[in-house]
């Protein structure tokens, strides 16, 4: 029997403790987290309690110097401003990287990370965990039957009553501070919105126009809306941290019907002969209210292992993650230009590198 993949976790905050670690601990034959780095003493203490056998460090550099030769991968769960530097350091030590979203705070950084993964021949795998939510899997299964025909319009609404908070011991409001987050709700949630849209419209986007506003005293937006154009159709997204309710509402429209998702509830509308429409109602418990999404990480981490085993250094998920950051960056430029439609410069260099590999 082969030994479990040895991993180091960088950033022992909310999503690491409540999402990533429970999933690793549920697969002891597959993963072992042997080291943790966190800049916050109270979080290092928490890591000691949760992972008593792990070696704990206060910075990535010291951890890698001491541990890299016995590691297979690094899991990055710090705020976005540090993702790129940590991932580059991991590739320099020939380690695979699992990285939280958004993978970087600029499109140029995202391309350079993917290029580095390709050169180092190490996997870069983003945390696109929403793809493993039961409702999202139910949507995928319906789309795969082909019964709805070509999809031409999708809407993705994420309504929150406040910004998500980081752990109290560090900087709970880092998502609102540009220097740490890189942006507001678009930077924080845009990746989930956009990679789902790529999947449902089965294409890469070609342009975006966006509007945003900020009702707070922080330096990041808390209302965001955009229209993304694809060769196959249109995606319209609305994200807010100022809603009166917390809800996820997605709609997907095809030539022969539509899907509507409201949290765990799914409606599939099928057009029948004579203009009749059949409606099927399903429910898939996705626990949207539980922000840790612990269950979804188990499947995601297996996808990461599959990529390592295949030697798929920069796969579709990684390319989508870079495109998400490109879209967010272009959306900000559009919003600054009063919502003007801007063409996208796709991560061509990355695609070329991936094909060359």
Binding site for ligand NAD (CB under 6 A): 10-16, 37-40, 43, 60, 77-80, 82, 100-101, 127, 129, 166-167, 170, 174, 188, 291, 293
Residue 38 or 115: the one with the smaller Cβ distance to ligand NAD is: 38
Minimum CB–partner distance for residue 348 and ligand NAD (Å): 26
Minimum distance from residue 175 beta carbon to ligand NAD (Å) = 8
DSSP bridge partners of 261: 250, 266
CA distance 213 to 184: 10
Burial 90-121 (b: 16+ CB within 10 A, else e): bbebebbbbbbbbbbbbbebbbbbbbbbbebe
Question: Measured from the CB atom, is 82 or 351 closer to ligand NAD?
Answer: 82
C-alpha span between 77 and 58 (Å, rounded): 14
Which one, 60 or 209, has the nearer CB to ligand NAD?
Answer: 60
Shortest Å distance, C-beta 301 to ligand NAD = 12
Helices (H), 276-315: 294-310
Cα–Cα distance, 218 to 8 (Å, whole number): 33
Position with the least CB separation from ligand NAD: 13
Compute the least distance from the CB of residue 136 to ligand NAD, in Å.
12
CB of 297 to ligand NAD, least distance (A): 8
Q: What is the DSSP string of 141-188?
A: HHHHHTTT-SEEEEEEEEE-SSPPP--TTS-TTGGG-HHHHSSSHHHH
As measured in angstroms, the least distance from the Cβ of 235 to ligand NAD is 20
CB of residue 234 to ligand NAD, shortest distance in Å = 25
Judge contact between 134 and 284, C-beta under 8 A: yes
Determine the Cα angle at 334 with ends 332 and 336, to 5°.
70
**Residues 344/226, Cβ–Cβ less than 8 Å:** no
Burial letters 255-270, b for 16+ CB under 10 A, else e: eebbbbbebbebebbb
Pick the closer one to ligand NAD by CB: 97 or 353.
97
Nearer to ligand NAD, 93 or 271 (CB): 93
Q: How far, in Å, CA of 173 to CA of 169, rounded?
A: 11
By beta-carbon proximity to ligand NAD, the closer residue of 15 and 324 is 15
Closest approach, Cβ 79 to ligand NAD, in A, equals: 5
For residues 25 and 150, which CB has a smaller minimum distance to ligand NAD in the complex? Answer: 25
Pairing status of strand 257-262 against strand 247-254: antiparallel
Which residue, 120 or 167, is less far from ligand NAD as judged by CB? Answer: 167
Half-sphere exposure at residue 112, Cβ-oriented, CA atoms within 13 angstroms: 13
């Amino acid at each position: 029997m082969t030994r479990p993949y040895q991993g180091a976790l960088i950033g022992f905050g909310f999503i690491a403790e409540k999402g990533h670690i429970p999933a690793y601990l549920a697969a002891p034959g597959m993963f072992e987290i042997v080291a943790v780095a966190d800049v916050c003493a109270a979080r290092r203490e928490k890591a000691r309690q949760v992972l008593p056998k792990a070696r704990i460090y206060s910075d990535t550099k010291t951890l890698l110097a001491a541990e890299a030769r016995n590691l297979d991968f690094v899991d990055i769960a710090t705020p976005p401003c540090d993702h790129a530097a940590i991932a580059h350091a991991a590739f320099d030590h020939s380690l695979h990287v699992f990285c939280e979203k958004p993978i970087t705070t600029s499109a140029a950084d995202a391309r350079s990370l993917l290029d580095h993964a390709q050169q180092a021949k190490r996997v870069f795998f983003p945390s696109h965990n929403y793809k493993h939510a039961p409702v999202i899997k139910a949507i995928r299964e319906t789309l795969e039957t082909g019964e709805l025909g070509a999809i031409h319009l999708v809407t993705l609404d994420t309504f929150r009553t406040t910004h998500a908070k980081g752990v109290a011991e560090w900087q709970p409001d880092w998502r609102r501070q540009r220097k740490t987050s890189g942006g507001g709700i678009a930077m924080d949630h845009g990746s989930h919105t956009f990679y789902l849209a790529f999947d449902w419209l089965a294409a890469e986007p070609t342009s975006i126009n966006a509007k945003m506003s900020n009702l707070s005293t922080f330096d990041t937006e808390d209302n965001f809306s955009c229209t993304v154009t694809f060769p196959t159709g249109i995606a319209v997204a609305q994200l807010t941290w100022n809603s009166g309710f917390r809800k996820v509402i997605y709609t997907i429209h095809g030539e022969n019907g539509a899907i509507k998702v409201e949290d765990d509830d799914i409606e599939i509308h099928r057009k029948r002969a004579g203009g009749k429409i059949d409606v099927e109602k399903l429910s898939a418990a996705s626990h949207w209210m539980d922000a840790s999404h612990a269950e979804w990480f188990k499947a995601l981490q297996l996808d990461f292992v599959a990529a390592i085993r295949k030697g798929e250094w920069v796969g579709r998920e990684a390319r989508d993650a870079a495109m998400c950051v490109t879209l967010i960056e272009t959306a900000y430029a559009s919003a600054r230009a009063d919502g003007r439609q801007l063409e996208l410069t796709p991560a061509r260099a990355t695609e070329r590198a991936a094909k060359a590999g």
